[in-house]
Amino acid sequence: MQEQLRKSDTLNVIGELAAGIAHEIRNPMTALKGFIQLLESSITKEHSLYYQVITTELQRIDSIINEFLILAKPQTISFQEKDLNQIMKETVDLLSAQAVLYNVQFVTDYDDRLPLIYCEPNQLKKVFINLIKNAIEVMPSGGNITITTKKIRKQQIQIIIKDEGCGISKEKIKKLGEPFYTTKDRGTGLGLMVSYRIIDEHNGTINVKSEEGMGTIFYINLPVNKLHPIV
Ligand code: ADP
Ligand code: MG
């Protein structure tokens, strides 16, 4: 089944709120982390497990805050003409170590006639990282992740990320992109939300096609020029 994922103003409101709160939490967090670190040397053996739990949970708060901050418009947002294949190649390189760990192979098919696109490259990289990481995480016993780029119309390009993981049921597809929706023990449920927001800001769309047990395909459509939104 295929479903058009929503573009909504709610995401913007949530984004601004989230970023504000994340900034506020960051300072006390820094203090906490610093003082906890100072305590390390005086922790007794019987308390060392507590200490471990505290530090891993602090790290977890940290990663949630960082994902939230991505929701905020970055200070130095810089839209520019870029080669999308290049951005994707850098992303694949970045994730290659994690892929090896999971026994996952990347199969890539880059359209070398892709026009440059007007985009915020770091933001797009974040989207690709989120989607590819999700794909890796649903293939604990390995498999292929197929990444394709292509020009689908004169003013539009498409990126396809396909995995051979557990797939997503019809009901659960509806929940993708909702803040905190996660099926993972240590997931944040923020990766897709952030990704949808970024693609929205590029006037693009994300579609997902999936079936339980059959793997998942994410389609990202992007206009070559942000000023010619996909309709
Ligand atoms: P997280 O990865 O922290 O759980 P995300 O927002 O990245 O948060 O993803 C939300 C949920 O969407 C995941 O927990 C998972 O249930 C589902 N999901 C995302 N990508 C895939 C995929 N490629 N295959 C199966 N399920 C997926
Ligand atoms: Mg994720």
Cα(45) to ligand 2 centroid in Å equals 35
> Relative to the alpha carbon of 162, which ligand is closest?
1
- Indicate whether 229 pLDDT > 50: yes
**Strand-strand pairing, 117-119 and 80-82:** antiparallel
Mutation test residue for ligand 1: of 134, 166, 180, 195, the one with most atoms within 8 Å of CB: 134
Whether the complex's predicted ipTM surpasses the cut of 0.90: yes
Look at the chain and count its residues.
Answer: 231
Cα(7) to ligand 2 centroid in Å equals 19
Contact by Cβ (8 Å): 102, 140? yes
Contact by Cβ (8 Å): 90, 108? no
Give residue-wise pLDDT tens across range 73-84. Answer: 555 678 999 999
Nearest CA to ligand 1 atom 13: 182
Residue 137 backbone dihedrals phi, psi, to 5 degrees: -65, -20
Cβ < 6 A, ligand 1 pocket: 130, 134-135, 138, 163, 165-166, 168, 176, 181-184, 187-193, 216
On whether the pTM is more than 0.95, the answer is: no
